[in-house]
Structure formats: structure tokens, C-alpha cells
Structure 1
Amino acid sequence: MSDPILATHSLSRSFGALKATDNVSIDLRAGEIHAIIGPNGAGKSTLIQQISGVLAPDQGRIELLGEDITRLSTVTRARAGLGRTFQISALAMEDTVFENAMLGALGARGNPWSFWRAAKRDTALSETALAALEQVGLAEARDMRTADLSHGQRRQLEVAVALTLAPRAFLMDEPMAGLGASGSKQMTGFLDGLRAEAPILLVEHDMDAVFALADRISVLVYGQIIATGTVDDIRKDAAVRAAYLGEDL
């Protein structure tokens, strides 16, 4: 078995007496979607924030491509190959689709604001941005104001911005949030193809999407991983049924 692309080792974070994550060890392998599920308040967002660098762990270690990134900033992690999409959109809504993608490409070089005017005339940056938009199916919408995109299109644009950084792994925090049934189905198909670009660590409440996409699932309850396995393994696990999925699944 090949070494994991991304891994956490005994990751823990407390807020006072509350242990939001408690010795969490998970990994993400090449070509897979590894879903993290669990009830509200289980610690999923805290885990993602630690992996992305928003929160520092109290203890434990995070590795990307075998390198310790535990103390690196979010920007440095992104440049090292960790791409993230957010539960709440972080796009520049008044800018065009192309400008958002350009900002991602420029961010890979350094300060994304210092040379913005010159960057717009940079052929290499433009090609990187357009290639990312083509990959997610938004090339024809390049001149649209981002605020005018549908919710699903904004999710795709977030992925395009991440793609300009040539990610080696994706962190995705509830990409189905706010999408209707048809939007979720479209996003599921999109993510299914995206795993070939880079593996995805996915936090998601839409269980239909999780069961359709995940190669492996880890169940987080009260800050602890209580089970990890295939979809069939998780469906059959009595502890998971009792803690989260329910006996009528």
C-alpha cells in the first residue's frame, strides 16, 4: 500500500473542558474520497480547521506528502498542495469568475494583491486560471460577476481557485450545503471525477452523496473516530447505527 497523501496523527483540540477532537488519526490516499461524517457538534469542522491551519492543535501531527505541516500557516499549506473549499463561500463576489481564478493563480506566487494590474496581463497566469475554469466547466462563464452565479457554480469556482494551486489533496467542508436535489446530484458527479485530480477529504451531511462517493468513511462522535471503513462496513456497524445513522437506515 502506498504512503498516504495526507494524514493526521493523534490530533487533539480542546475548548475548556470540551474535547472537540480527541486523538484523531486518519489518512487520505491517492485517488480516493474519504468522507468524515458524524452528528452536529461531533468536531468535524474543528478537525478540518486544524488540518487547514485555521486552528492549531493542542497535540498531534499533520503530514502532507510525508512532511510535517502542523505549524505551517494556511497560505503555506495551500502552496504546499493542500486545497480547501469552504462551507461558506470565500469568493470575491463582485469580481468576475475569471478574476477569482486569477487571484488563486497569483496567490501561488506570493501576495495576491501586490501586482494585480500587471498580473492581468500575465499570459502564464491567465492560462492557468482559464485551464482551471475549463476543468470545472466554467470557462464560458469567465466574464460573469461571481455574485450572479448559481450556488452550485460558486462551489465549482471554489474548486477552480484551488486547482490553480496544483493541489495534492482537497479538503471539502459540506460542498452540498444549500444545493437542492438536482444540484447535489450534479455536484456528486463533479466530485466523482475530481478525485482523479487529487484525493478528497470530505465533510458532508448529505448521506446519499456520501454513500455514492466515498471509498472510505470515518465516523466522528464526540471528537473521537468510532469507526473507519467502506460504505458497507459503516452501514453494518452497530456502534455507528446507534450513534449516528439510526437503526432504520
Structure 2
Amino acid sequence: MTEPILKVEGLSKAFGALEASRDIWLDLRPGEIHALIGPNGAGKSTLIQQIAGGLAPDRGRVLFDGRDVTALSTAARARLGLGRTFQISSLAMEYTVLQNAVLGALGRRGGVFRFFRPVMRDAALLKAARAALEQVGLAGVERVRTAELSHGQRRQLEVAVALTLRPRAFLMDEPMAGLGAEGTRAMTAFLRRLKTQAPILLVEHDMDAVFALADRISVLVYGGIIASGSVQEVRGDPEVRRAYLGEEGAP
């Protein structure tokens, strides 16, 4: 079996009496989309924050490409190739599409924001930014101010910014959020192509998209993984049907 690029081993995190993460084990393998699903309040965002480096676990560790990165910052993990898109946009709305992509490329270099103007004349950064925009289908709007983009285009730009870091794996937090039916279809097709470049740990509430995309699914309920397996295995698991999908969501 191919060695996972990302491993989560025994992660636990509590906020007072609330166990947001409880002894979580999962991994992400090359070429796959591993979907993390669960009801609101299950602890998905807390888990992603621990994997990305924004929140320190109480116990357990995160390994990336065989290296223990548990003590590393978000920026350090990103420079190693762990890319992330956010549930709430982190784009600079006043800047153009190209400027946002260049900021992403600058982050890989470890650049400083005060040198932004000279950076916009940096041929290598511009090349990386434009290549990422081309890949997500935004090459034609690089001079448009980000605030003027549609919601779906902003989602595409977030992925482009992550791509400038040349990620070896992605963490994606609800990339379908706010997209209409057409936008969801387009994003689904894009993610299906993208996983061949870098595997994706996907947090998503759109179950149609999850079932269409996921190679594996892990179900998080009350801070713990209650099931993990293929789409067919998870859909047929009685505990999952009872605890998460319920009568209305059961296939």
C-alpha cells in the first residue's frame, strides 16, 4: 500500500469539559480524496485547525511526508507543502485576482508584505501566480478586483492561492459552500482532476458532492471518528445512518 502523505495519530483536544477531538486517527494517501463529514458541532473545524497548525492538540501528533510537524506553525507546514482553503474567505478583497495569487507565491518564499510593490515586478512570482490562475480557470480575470468576483470565482481563487505554494496535499474546508448547482458541478469536476496532483482532505456538508468525489470517508460525531471506509461502506453503516445521516439523510 502507498505510504500516506498525511497522518493524524491519536489527536485529542478539549476545551474545559468539552472533548472537541477524541483520540482521532486518520490518514491521507496520494491520489485520493478523503472526506471528513459529520453534523454541526462534531469537531471538524477543530480537527482541521490542529492538522493545519492553527491549534495545538493536547495529545497526539500530526505527521506530514513522514515528518512530525505537530510543533510547527501553519506557515511552516504550508512551506512544506500542506495547502489549505478556508470555509470563510481569507482573500484580500481590495486587491486584484493576480495580486492575491502573487501574495500566495510570496508566502512560499517567506516574503515580507511591505515589499509588495517590488514583488509585483518579480518574474518568477508572476509566473507561478499566473500558472495557478490558469489551472483554476481565472486567467482571463487577473486584473479584476477580488471584491467584484462571483462567490464561485472567489472559491476558485482560494484554490489558486493554495496552488502557488506547490502543495503536496490539500486541506479543504467546505469548498462548495455558497455555490449554486452549476458552481458545485464545476468545483466537483475540478477537485476530481486536482486530486491527481495533490490528495485532498475534504470537509464538506454537500453529501451529493461527497459521495461523488470521495475515495474514502471518515465520519466525525461528538469529537470522535465513528466510521471510516469507502462510500459504500459508510453509506451502509448502521451507526452512521443513526448518528449522522438519520432517517432523512439515509440513502
Is the structural similarity TM-score above 0.5?
Answer: yes
Q: Matches of residues 34-183 of structure 1 in structure 2 within 5 Å?
A: 34-183=34-183
Letter in 2 for 1:14: A
Alignment-mate amino acid for residue 19 of structure 2: K
Cα distance in 2 for partners of 1:30, 1:112 equals 32
Partner of 2:237: 237
The one-letter code matched in structure 1 to 2:212 is: A
What is the match of residue 29 of structure 2?
29
- Distance in structure 1 (CA, Å) of the matches to 2:134 and 2:179: 22
Report what 1:224 is aligned to.
Answer: 224
Of residues 187-196 and 81-90 in structure 1, the stretch that sits farther from structure 2 once superposed is 187-196
Question: SS where residue 108 of structure 1 aligns?
Answer: helix
Secondary structure of residue in 2 paired with 1:100:
helix
Q: How many Å separate the matches in 1 of 2:146 and 2:117?
A: 19
- Quote how far apart the aligned CAs of 1:141 are: 0.7
Q: Unpaired segments of 5 or more residues in structure 1?
A: none
* 8 Å contact from structure 1 (residues 6, 29) kept in 2: yes
- Cross-structure match for 1:188: 188
Q: Deviations over 1:180-212 (max 9, x none)?
A: 122111111111111111000000000000000
CA distance in 2, matches of 1:196, 1:133: 18
Given that 1:103 and 1:112 are in contact with CA atoms closer than 8 Å, whether structure 2 keeps it comes out as no
1: distance between equivalents of 2:68 and 2:152?
34
Query: 1:111 Cα deviation (Å)?
Result: 3.0
1:91-149: CA deviation from partner (whole Å, max 9, x where unpaired)? 00010000000001111111341321211111111101000000111011101100111
- In 2, the alpha carbon distance for the partners of 1:81 and 1:45 equals 20
What is the aligned length? 249
Instruction: Say whether the 8 Å CA contact 1:36–1:220 is kept in structure 2.
Output: yes
Q: Distance in 1 between matches of 2:141 and 2:150?
A: 11
SS of residue matched to 2:109: coil
Shift of 1:9: 0.1
Q: What secondary structure, in the 3-state scheme, does the structure 1 residue paired with 2:205 have? A: coil
Gaps in structure 2 of 5+ consecutive residues:
none
Q: When the two structures are superposed, what TM-score results if normalisation uses the length of structure 1?
A: 0.98
The aligned amino acid for 1:228 is S
Q: CA deviation at 1:240?
A: 0.4
> Helix, strand or coil for the counterpart of 1:111?
coil
Offset, 1:170: 0.3
- The CA distance in 2 between the partners of 1:20 and 1:31, in whole Å, is 29
- Structure 1 stretches (4+) deviating beyond 6 angstroms? none
- Tell me the CA shift for residue 38 of structure 1: 0.6
Identity across aligned pairs (percent)?
69
1:14 corresponds to 2:30: no
**Amino acid across the alignment from 1:230:** S
For residues 50-73 of structure 1, what are the alpha-carbon distances to aligned partners after superposition, in whole Å with 9 as ceiling and x for unaligned?
Answer: 001111000000011010000100
